[in-house]
Structure 1
């Protein structure tokens, strides 16, 4: 079972390059960065985790630039968006960013995607909140065409372009894995429809029960997908050896633990604690 970390990088936190090196030195598999272009002062949508938003939501750096910085100083660490808000991104520009980062990292990019919860933020990008799921699907389908075809074109309700040329193509074939974030059952269905994996959160599994993992795999089979091609990555996993062993037992492919937006003096002890858990798990 792979172990990675997710962090909101800010100007006051540990930076991507030293964190990337620290993770790789300790044998961790991946570094993930969330995305929020901005946080509107208004709030039509309640924060799903409850309570108010912490400052890193307002201060987070661009995920692609942060990940490229980490990739430049590492050789094996995978770098992933956890998650990128494709409903706020132009698909042609994003396709080039993904393929460029995948090339520069030597094929180490993981494209975690999601459709967002913050209605005000999404609408500031010109997206109608109620149509965001179809928009996301079309943008991902369009990006797949760009990555895999010599002269891609796409004609949908929200995304529409005639034949064009765009390089570089991604290093990974046919493209970096598209790992769909979100809760059960809706995001699970989206992962089965156009993804290469699913990202639920540990607190959601605590609420809904680990049985939804088996339900997800059954849904994949019913849809004609091999569950082995749809690995599950669980985010925000607590530092509990018992929890990690349970995840391993039920066949979770990857767990990702959260790091606070703090400096090295706070971050490195957390990494060391997780490195010890990893050692015990590998046992």
Structure 2
């Protein structure tokens, strides 16, 4: 298995450039970073992790800006969103941002995507939480049109535009990979239809990984690699991921100042080396 890092990059933790350099020096192959555009001051949506919403959710840097800084400090690291909240983004701007990252990094970008959970945040972007899944499906289809066609157009219920010119195109062909996050039926349907890789969370066990792989094969998708998002250092869990045929595991890295981050990365690199 390959090993990467999943984290929140904020204004209070290690800077993106030094983080990227430290990951590459320690043999990690990828960085997946989270995003929230904002957190509404009045929020009814419960935090999926339970309890109070962690401070890092309030302070995330824009992922494409942060990943560009990481790319400038690295040579080979995969630069990925984990996850971009696609329904909250304008699809044409998103196509441009992701393709631009792929260009400036020399073809090292990946777009991890999800529908999101914070309903108040969505509404502030003009998104109806009830239809965000259908919107996201059209957005992913439209992204592929924009990335692969000289003149792209899309006509759906939620996304509609006449032929456009939109450059840059991604370096990777046919386009940068789309990693679909989530384990729900809707997420898996989205994966089968639009995804290039699956990004399940750390609690997903070998039996479920194998079940989803068989289900994908039944859909004619035998080409979908799995990357675990935000795992802990448990050797038992890592063995389970290997049993489930996982391509990559990303360890969840706490958001801390540089010295504390480097010490934690040393520990995680040793775990990866022992597991590998």
1:66 is paired with a residue whose SS is helix
Partner of 2:177: 177
Partner of 1:257: 251
Deviation string 1:140-162 (CA, Å, 9 cap, x unpaired) is: 11110000011110000010011
Aligned residues: 276
Deviation at 1:236, TM superposition (A): 1.8
- Counterparts of 1:1-283 in structure 2 under 5 Å? 1-203=1-203, 205=204, 209-226=205-222, 229-282=223-276
Q: Secondary structure at the match of 1:10?
A: coil
1:184/1:200 contact within 8 Å kept: no
CA deviation string 1:40-82 (max 9, x = no partner): 1122321111111111101111010000000011000111000
| RMSD after superposition | 1.1
Deviation at 1:210, TM superposition (A): 2.9
Give, in whole Å, the separation in 1 of the partners of 2:149 and 2:173. Answer: 12
Question: What is the CA–CA distance in structure 2 between the aligned matches of 1:230 and 1:44, rounded to whole Å?
Answer: 36
Structure 2 SS opposite 1:32: strand
Distance in 2 separating the partners of 1:191 and 1:118: 21
Q: What is the alpha-carbon distance in structure 2 between the residues aligned to residue 239 and residue 98 of structure 1?
A: 30
Distance (whole Å) between structure 1 residues aligned to residue 252 and residue 178 of structure 2: 21
Runs of 5+ consecutive residues of structure 1 not aligned to the other structure = none
- The answer (yes or no) to whether the contact 2:99–2:170 under 8 Å persists in 1 is yes
**Larger deviation: 147-156 or 268-277?**
268-277
2:127 match: secondary structure = coil
Q: CA deviation at 1:252?
A: 0.4
Measured after TM superposition, the shift of residue 15 of structure 1 is: 0.8
Bigger drift between 124-133 and 177-186 goes to 177-186
Assess if the C-alpha contact under 8 Å between 2:207 and 2:244 holds in 1: no
Determine the C-alpha separation between the residues in 2 that align with 1:3 and 1:11.
25
Aligned partners of 2:206 and 2:241 also within 8 Å: no
Counterparts of 1:266 and 1:82, CA distance in 2: 22
Displacement of 1:238 in angstroms is: 1.1
Counterpart CA distance in 2 for 1:169 and 1:184 is 31
TM-score, normalised relative to structure 2: 0.97
